[in-house]
Amino acid sequence: AVLKSSKSSAVIAKEHRKCIEEAIATNPYAKWRVVSFHQDIYGYPDHYTDPEVTECREQLYPILDDYDIDIVLTGHGHNYTRSFQMYNNEYVSNSEEYKSNDVTVNNPDGTVYFELSTAASKNYENNKAGYDEHIAKSFAVNGVQSYSVVSVTDGKLSVETYRTDTNERYDSYTITKTDSAKL
């Protein structure tokens, strides 16, 4: 199968792996590992089972797991979603703490996936029917966009998301690291 490219998904996956390997080799002691790409592999329920999304997810999550990626920033779905911490294509924990508007986790296992794409001219209503067991938090109100602010310090990485109509903070997710055992 092909992912809107003349290249096969296996070739695209190899290119992603090589890019991540080179970035880590260039910065071996970086505390934070952030990856960004377009397709929301753990995002909006309407797209979750699309063949292109399913294939992207199957090709990419093992690579992201292998390199202990902290967060993945995606787009595509015109909705804001935040996954649970994911590892091996499953959530590490779906406890209620992850569903709150103000989450701080210390040295979490797995990767958290953000779909940050409600700033476009269109967006979709929140949580239409679809697969959403992987989603901890989501926001989409027709005609109301959101924006996110990413802050990085030595010990903390935060993503705060705000509504554009009120500037009210809708979601805050902070990862703290007190060790570098994985590096």
CB 179 within 8 A of CB 107: yes
What does the mean pLDDT of the chain come to?
84
Question: Is residue 22 over pLDDT 80?
Answer: yes
Q: Angle at which helices 9-26 and 51-66 pack, to 10 degrees?
A: 30
Cα 15 to Cα 90: distance, rounded to the nearest angstrom = 24
Question: Is residue 114 over pLDDT 70?
Answer: yes
36-87, pLDDT tens digit by residue? Answer: 987 888 887 777 778 888 888 999 999 999 999 999 998 877 778 899 999 9
Cα 133 to Cα 83: distance, rounded to the nearest angstrom = 9
pLDDT class of 3 with cuts at 50, 70, 90: very low
Cα 127 to Cα 139: distance, rounded to the nearest angstrom = 8
For residue 43, the cross-strand partners are none
pTM value is 0.88
Q: What percent of the chain has pLDDT over 70?
A: 84
